[in-house]
Chains A and B, each alone.
Chain A
Amino acid sequence: FSTAGLVVVPGKYVKAFYVDVEILECGGNLFDVVSLGVKAALYATRTPRITITGEDGGELEFTLSDNPTDVDRLDVVNAPVLITHLRISEGVTVVDPTSEEEQCGPVSVVVGVAPNSTICAVHLLGPGTIGPQTLQAALKGSSVLGADINARLLKKLRQEESEPERRIRGFLG
């Protein structure tokens, strides 16, 4: 994920984004869903363009553009997505577990995968152990699946955006 787009004045001023996640209902596989939601939300984020108007005693002055179409967007094309593998037994893992399935195994592996199939994060979750073969298989599977999920998400987001008469539904439709 490129943070170059967040810079206003190199070395001095940057934009800070706060991402607040509110979970309304938990049906299992929280990490994956939250990562997809965050990526989609960042894709939809538009911030007003900032221009430097002048210098006032060493402090820079900024103005925000009033025009709603004059916006900056974030480049989230390369942002990763999380994939959870739940370990059921030796050598068997399940992706995208429901909450009932989550009760079946104590340990899961959360893998962060970027669109180009590279793995950028691995996190073990739960009071359990996972064998090295199982872990390797999970990681391999994730990198393939991750690229696919990222591609589909991006395709859907672009499709939604290009719809000419998209009715913006409020929360929960």
Chain B
Amino acid sequence: NLIVRCDVCGLIVIWRKKSIESRGGETAIRIGMEYISETGLRLDGRRVLESRNIFCEIGINPKSDGSARFEIGNTKCIASVYGPREARYHRDTIHDRAIVKCEFNSVHFSQSTRTTSRKNDRRSNDSAEIIRETVESVLLLHLYPRSQIDISVEVLQSDGGELAAAINCVSLALIDSGCPMKDFICASTSGLIDNTPLIDINYAERGANGPVLLIAALPKSQKIITMQMEHKLELKNLDRCIELGLQGVSQVYEILQETVRKNALQKFQSREQLGV
């Protein structure tokens, strides 16, 4: 075994001898990075079924109708919601419900090297579409005909699971803005590395090129709204991965719910103090 300490992130990486190949008289030793140690610990010390630490805050941007900040491990993002309000372009409006417009943006310094792709690149547009569709299936849009709800998400730091973090963040921001919704929207990633299913894949684990499944669901009814997958996954493993994704969703839900309750209590207490 070769044990190396990464200078960049401080992780201790174990390269284990995977196989010895002999070809044409030459022997080559293939080594692969060990993502899950024998004791069941992952690269950052988590267990297989453990999500990273979550921190969230509501109401960070007083200018918008609703805003929130969501951090899971080193992935950090903020979201702002404006609306429901009068639509900007009358031709976009729908006579019996509101429209949702979503913007997804990653700052240039979100990853370890500076990224130069800006607003209208495909990846961002894709993510924005996914968030929009997720949100449209949960909001009670029929209550606001001919109106518009604008959602803007900014990823400040990226360490895997940005879209899931963005969806959670948007969910909190929508709750802060008072838009009527059926339930919280909670999202989590799950994946498979070395035949072990994992919850909450971070950037280093994505490098293992195993399948990564993103699930956004309504936590109370466990109904899945959005599912997105990268790489290949055998059908027999799909059920387990979905199950883990929903477990991750429940873990996130506990924290989101706690945050919203605390925030509501704070608002209620401040009203009491004003004598209202």
Contact = CB atoms under 8 A, between A and B. Distances in A.
Interface stretch (A19-27, A30-38, A113-121): A19-27
B63 interface: yes
Interface string B44-69: 00000000000000001111000001
B156 A20 contact: no
Interface residues of A, number: 11
**Dominant SS at the A interface?**
loop
B113 to A, nearest CB: 11
A170 interface: yes
A25 B59 CA distance: 12
Contacts of A22: 107, 109, 154, 156
A171 B108 contact: no
Nearest to B109: A20
A18 B157 contact: no
A24 B154 CA distance: 9
B62 to A, nearest CB: 8
A18 B115 CA distance: 11
Contacts of A20: 107-109, 114
Interface of A: 18, 20, 22, 24-27, 66, 170-172
Interface of B: 7, 60-63, 69, 71, 76, 78, 107-109, 114, 154, 156-157
In the A-B complex, list the 8 residue pairs whose CB atoms are closest, starting with the nearest.
A20-B108, A22-B107, A171-B156, A20-B109, A25-B61, A18-B114, A171-B76, A172-B69
